[in-house]
C-alpha cells in the first residue's frame, strides 16, 4: 500500500482548525469567508514516463488521490469513472491539437462544451461521497454565480442528483445567446436559474453574501438544507483541474514532442483565476512548467496586477466577446496571495479587507518576487478577432474567443521574450459556443445569419461535427425565465426552496 501523506485544508483568512478534503468540499467556503487551501502541495508520486502510459482517468486518480486523502481508493475511482464517461465526445477526454507550433489542450469535449465540464462532471460525485462520509442528512443546496460556462456545466452535473438542489445566478445581459439558451432550457426538478440585473461581479458578491449569512444558514438548517458551492472557489473544483495539465505533459512525452524533464510553458485565458491556479499547483507538485502565462481580455485587472503588484477593481466593467472572462474580482487569486504571503492568513485577510473596502490592494516587494513564474498580458477585442482569423487562414483551426485571447497573448509573449519553450494553450470552450463572434472574426458577411444558422456554417467551415450540446438546444423549450434585482437574490433562493 502506497504511503500518502494526509493533506488537510486551512482557510485563507484565519488560523482555525484545519478540515479534511471531504469537509472542505462540502462547505465550499470557510465560515470566515476565506477559501480552503491545502496545508501543503503534495509532490507527484509517479514520474512523467509512468504517467505517459496512462489514460485520462488513471492520471486523474494519481493526481487527485494526493489531495483528497480522506477518500478511499474505491470512493475516488468510483467518482472518476462516473465523471469521465460517454458524456465526453472524445475517448481521450482532453485531446492535444498542434496548430502553428503551439499545443492546444482541448478541454471542451464534455456535455456543455466548455472546460468547466472537466471539474463539474466529477464535483457532484465528490460532494455526495463527502456528504456520506460526514453523515450529512441535510439536502445540499448548490449556490453558484456564473459568467456563462460554470452555470450550465454545474446544472448538467447536478440535475437529477438525489439529495441536492442547484441554484444558478447569471448576469441577464452578460452571457452569449447560446450560453443563456443552454442554462434556461436545463431540465430537472432540482434546478433553478435566475438572471440578475447586474454583472457577474454583482452575482458573485451576492452569492458570497448569502454564504456568509449565518442567520439564514440556521434558518435553512432547521428546514433540512445546507449550502455548498460549485464555483471554482470549491476545492473540489480546483483539484480536478490540476489533472489535465499533468495529463497534457504526459501526452507530449508519450508522443515524443518533449523529453522527460523538459520544461513547457502553459497559457491560460483567465477570469476567476482558478484554471491558471491549477497549473500553478501542478508546477508545485513537480510538473516541469517554466512560465505560467496569464491571458486577460479588456477587463485586464490581472494584467495590471502582474505588471504593478497592485490589484484594483475600480475601473469600468467591459462586456466583451469572451464573457466568461468579464470579471473584475478574480476570486481564486486569493489562494495565490495566501501562498505568496508565506501561507499568512492574517496578511491575506488584511489585503482582502482592503479589496472589499477600497476596491484595491498592493502586495509587498517580497510577494511580487514570488510571482516571477507568472507572465501577464491581455488582448483587445480587435486582437482577439484578428487571432481567430489569422489561425484559421494559416491552418484551418478555429478557436473560440477565450482561447483566442490566450493565443494572442502567447504571440505577444514570444515577441517580448523570444522564449521558444514548447507551449500548451488551455483551449477552454468550443467555438460553437460563441458562433457569432467567431464567424464575424473570420468574415463579416456572416452577421446576417441567426445564431443557429451560424452553427451549421461553422461546422462546414471548420470541418467539425456539431456538438450534441448545441443540437440539443435547437428545439429545447425554455424552462427557467426567472429574473431579479441584485438585492433580491436571497428572496429568490427562499422562493425556490419554499422557506
* Residues designated catalytic: 116
CA distances (Å), 361 to each of 100, 310, 334, 341, 408, in order? 39, 6, 12, 13, 28
The three three-digit cell numbers of residue 52, written as one number: 505517459
Q: How many CB atoms lie within 10 A of CB 361?
A: 21
Amino acid at each position: 500500500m502506497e504511503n500518502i501523506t494526509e493533506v488537510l485544508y486551512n482557510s485563507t483568512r484565519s488560523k482555525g482548525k484545519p478540515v479534511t478534503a471531504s469537509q472542505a468540499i462540502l462547505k465550499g467556503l470557510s465560515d470566515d469567508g476565506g477559501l480552503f487551501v491545502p496545508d501543503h502541495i503534495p509532490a507527484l508520486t509517479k514520474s512523467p514516463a509512468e504517467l505517459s502510459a496512462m489514460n485520462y482517468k488513471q492520471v486523474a486518480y494519481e493526481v487527485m488521490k494526493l489531495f483528497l486523502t480522506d477518500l478511499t481508493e474505491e470512493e475516488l475511482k468510483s467518482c472518476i469513472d462516473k465523471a469521465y464517461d460517454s458524456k465526453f465526445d472524445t475517448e481521450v477526454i482532453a485531446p492535444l491539437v498542434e496548430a502553428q507550433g503551439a499545443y492546444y489542450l482541448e478541454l471542451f469535449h464534455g456535455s456543455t462544451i466548455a472546460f468547466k465540464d472537466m471539474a463539474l462532471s466529477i464535483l457532484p460525485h465528490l460532494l455526495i461521497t463527502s456528504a456520506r462520509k460526514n453523515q450529512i442528512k441535510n439536502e445540499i443546496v448548490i449556490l453558484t454565480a456564473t459568467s456563462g460556462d460554470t452555470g450550465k456545466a454545474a446544472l448538467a452535473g447536478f440535475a437529477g442528483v438525489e439529495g441536492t438542489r442547484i441554484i444558478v445566478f447569471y448576469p441577464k445581459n452578460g452571457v452569449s445567446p447560446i450560453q443563456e439558451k443552454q442554462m434556461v432550457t436545463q431540465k430537472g426538478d432540482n434546478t433553478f436559474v435566475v438572471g440578475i440585473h447586474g454583472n457577474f461581479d454583482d452575482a458573485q458578491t451576492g452569492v458570497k453574501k448569502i454564504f456568509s449569512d449565518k442567520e439564514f444558514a440556521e434558518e435553512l438548517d432547521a428546514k433540512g438544507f445546507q449550502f455548498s458551492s460549485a464555483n471554482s472557489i470549491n476545492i473540489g473544483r480546483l483539484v480536478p483541474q490540476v489533472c489535465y495539465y499533468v495529463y497534457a505533459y504526459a501526452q507530449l512525452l508519450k508522443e515524443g514532442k518533449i523529453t522527460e524533464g523538459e520544461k513547457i510553458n502553459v497559457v491560460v485565458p483567465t477570469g476567476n483565476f482558478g484554471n491558471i491556479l491549477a497549473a500553478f499547483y501542478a508546477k508545485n507538485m513537480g510538473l516541469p512548467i517554466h512560465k505560467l502565462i496569464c491571458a486577460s481580455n479588456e477587463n485586464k485587472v490581472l494584467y495590471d496586477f502582474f505588471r504593478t503588484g497592485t490589484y484594483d477593481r475600480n475601473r469600468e466593467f467591459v462586456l466583451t466577446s469572451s464573457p466568461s472572462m468579464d470579471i473584475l474580482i478574480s476570486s481564486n487569486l486569493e489562494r495565490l496571495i495566501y501562498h505568496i504571503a508565506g501561507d499568512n492568513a492574517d496578511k491575506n485577510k488584511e489585503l482582502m479587507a482592503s479589496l472589499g473596502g477600497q476596491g484595491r490592494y498592493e502586495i509587498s516587494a517580497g510577494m511580487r518576487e514570488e510571482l516571477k513564474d507568472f507572465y501577464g498580458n491581455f488582448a483587445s477585442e480587435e486582437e482577439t478577432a484578428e487571432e481567430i482569423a489569422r489561425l484559421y487562414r494559416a491552418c484551418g483551426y478555429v478557436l473560440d474567443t477565450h482561447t483566442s485571447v490566450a493565443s494572442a497573448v502567447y504571440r505577444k509573449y514570444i515577441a517580448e521574450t523570444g522564449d521558444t519553450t514548447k507551449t500548451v494553450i488551455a483551449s477552454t470552450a468550443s467555438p460553437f459556443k460563441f458562433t457569432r463572434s467567431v464567424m464575424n472574426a473570420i468574415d463579416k458577411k456572416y452577421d446576417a445569419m441567426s445564431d443557429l444558422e451560424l452553427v451549421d456554417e461553422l461546422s462546414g467551415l471548420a470541418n467539425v461535427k456539431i456538438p450534441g450540446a448545441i443540437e440539443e438546444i435547437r428545439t429545447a423549450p425554455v424552462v427557467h425565465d426567472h429574473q431579479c434585482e441584485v438585492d433580491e437574490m436571497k428572496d429568490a433562493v427562499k422562493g425556490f426552496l419554499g422557506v
